[in-house]
């Protein structure tokens, strides 16, 4: 039986990971409360590459029992041309504690002529998204 132990462990781990839906106590709401189109943020937008910088002000309300990480790699935005831009420059706290509401700004490189229409946050286990409307 010892010869099968590593195989059983690998199969069990694969089954657990493939069915993972995240922490059931996780809960957060995000909303875009403001947009500065073609902002002058540092490290964002490049005329030579045909991009400009849009800065989104985002309110994060953490309603669950887990803290909310604002890590740049969890964010992405969808533009009206269908393009997806990820890993923005994040200004604000590294995380928002459970039970609190925090605010961050996100600087996205956006193709000239395009406008952001959706904001997504995904840490593999949980995800939250919202439309970007009425703030441009």
Torsion of CA 32, 33, 36, 42, to 10 degrees: -70
Determine the distance from the C-alpha atom of residue 61 to the mean position of all C-alpha atoms in its chain, rounded to a whole number: 14
Give residue 25's pLDDT.
63
- Residues 26 and 67: their CA atoms lie apart, in Å, by 8
- Domains of the chain from N-terminus onward: 22-131 (2.60.40.1240)
The tens-digit pLDDT sequence of the chain (136 residues) is 445 444 333 333 333 333 444 465 679 999 999 999 998 888 898 888 999 999 999 999 999 999 999 999 999 999 999 999 999 999 999 999 999 999 999 999 999 999 999 999 999 999 999 999 877 7
User: Tokens at residue 106, please?
Assistant: 């996100």
User: Tokens at residue 2, please?
Assistant: 């010892």
Residues pairing with 130 in the sheet: 119
- Residues 3 and 12: their CA atoms lie apart, in Å, by 16
Give residue 26's pLDDT.
75
């Amino acid at each position: 039986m010892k010869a099968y132990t590593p195989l059983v462990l690998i199969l069990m781990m694969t089954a657990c990971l493939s069915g993972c839906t995240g922490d059931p106590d996780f809960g957060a709401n995000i909303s875009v409360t403001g947009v500065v189109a073609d902002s002058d943020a540092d490290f964002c937008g490049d005329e030579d590459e045909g991009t400009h910088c849009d800065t989104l002000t985002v309110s994060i309300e953490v309603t669950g029992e887990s803290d909310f990480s604002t890590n740049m790699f969890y964010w992405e935005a969808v533009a009206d041309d269908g393009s997806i831009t990820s890993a923005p420059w994040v200004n604000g706290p590294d995380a928002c504690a459970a039970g609190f509401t925090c605010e961050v700004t996100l600087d996205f490189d956006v193709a000239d002529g395009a406008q952001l229409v959706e904001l997504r946050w995904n840490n593999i286990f949980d995800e939250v998204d919202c439309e970007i409307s009425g703030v441009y």
